[in-house]
Amino acid sequence: MARVFSSRTVENNVKINTISIIFFILTLYLMFYLWHEIYDKHHPKFSVVKFQDKFWLQQYDRYESLDNIVADSLWYQNYNHYFLLDDNRFHFFRFDIYKEFDEPMKMADLDSIVSDRIDYLKSLTKEELLFPTIDNIYVDWESKKYLIWEKWQIFFRLYFIYINRNTLLEFNRYYWNVFNQENVFLWPESFKTVSFLKNKLERDSFLLLYIKENSCKVVAVEDWFYKQIDQINFWVNYLMQMYKDNQIVKYWYKSAEEIDQNPLAKNLVLETIRFYIDFLCKWLADLNLTDKDIFLVSSIVKNWNFMEEFNKTYAGFHNKYIVPFHHSDQLESYWKHWNPEEMDTLIFLNSCKIKKQLIKHEE
């Protein structure tokens, strides 16, 4: 039997469909996956934060390759997907730009400057441009927030972040052209953390040292931007194994006062820690990176004996110090406690439009 629709029925259906579309868009805006790559050459791992309106934040680990994670993300097209990828998948370039404009600077002028630098970079790298960004804007040597419509003497720093072509191919294998996907966003894992230290703490040069379970990486920032990134196979589990070999594991998180009660254990703990720290500092010295303060992102900051010895040894080079990025067990945000090694994830959540979603939902 044929179905007959009155004009009122059609009008009501249009309203219902419009409401459904709006609801779908709002749902897409609210739901997301944050895929944070935890580099491990032999055992790939991603720390995952999932947000749904009904369940708030869910956090868990997946021990899978990037290829599998990207393939799996295709099943959740009604989510936004934020990928925090290991910094070694990216290349970073900086240009100091000085121009004089008699007329107010227009967007076309900025586009021309960016295009010229991109053409130049084609001779230096075969990787793919992810995004450019700008900061340190000065007009007639006065700090400004914006470039457009300013004139006279203008100085700013122009940065380009490129992504390794092989990494991009892993995304394009499933997304065809990931740059055309409105719900997929790629970031270097430390990018927001470096920006936080630059802007909030006004630090122009420092080291960001990651000592993870199965990797150790240093990000050197100089004059407000990435200078170099290096990695070493000298991680938390390496030191923990030394504790196990010396049968002192139970002293891993004990205070100096508690260890003092057992002189034999104290000697073993300090010898073990000093061996590890001497090797770590030698590596930094060989890279000529001991002249900057260190911000340490690691679960190892809970080991007070390690932090005390590390500060003593590192200060012996250029009297610089080490700051644990977070060492409290009570850092709570977005309905959960955050561990010291999760600072990149938390700072990312706090530094983009996701924060507005989460705060609105929390209220």
How far is residue 134 from each of residues 158, 195, 205, 269, measured CA to CA in Å? 5, 12, 18, 47
> Degrees (nearest 5) of the Cα angle 169, 172, 173?
85
Window from 246-250, 308-312, 315-319 with minimum mean pLDDT:
246-250
pTM of the model: 0.83
Q: What is the pLDDT of residues 38-88, one digit of tens each?
A: 987 778 999 999 988 766 788 899 999 999 999 999 999 899 999 999 999
| Residue 78 within a domain | yes
Return the DSSP state at 288. T
For residue 264, give both structure tokens.
């034999």
Range of the domain at 76: 7-87
Residue type, 215: S
Q: What is the arithmetic mean of pLDDT over 292-319?
A: 90
Residue 61 shares a structural domain with residue 115: no
Mean residue pLDDT across the chain: 84
Q: Domain for residue 24, yes or no?
A: yes
The confidence score (pLDDT) of residue 21 equals 39
Span 201-229, average pLDDT: 89
Highest mean predicted confidence (pLDDT) among 55-69, 159-173, 266-280, 307-321: 159-173
Q: What is the CATH number of the domain that holds 234?
A: 3.30.420.40
Cβ-contact 53, 30 below 8 angstroms: yes
**Residue 208 included in any domain:** yes
Which of the listed residues 87, 115, 136 is the one where a domain comes to its end? 87
Do 158 and 71 lie in one domain? The reply is: no
The residue out of 188, 214, 230 marking a domain boundary is 188
Neighbouring C-beta atoms of residue 296, cutoff 10 Å: 22
Please tell me whether residues 144 and 206 are part of one structural domain. no
Do 226 and 177 share a domain, yes or no? Answer: no
Q: In the prediction, which pLDDT does 7 show? A: 37
More confident residue, 150 or 46: 46
Given pLDDT bands bounded at 50, 70 and 90, which one contains residue 6?
Answer: very low
User: Total structural domains in the chain?
Assistant: 3
pLDDT class of 280 with cuts at 50, 70, 90:
very high
Give yes or no: residues 22 and 100 share one domain. no
Closest CA to 61 of 89, 83, 41, 38: 38
Q: What is the DSSP string of 189-232?
A: TTHHHHHHHHHHS--SSEEEEEE-SS-EEEEEEETTEEEEEEEE
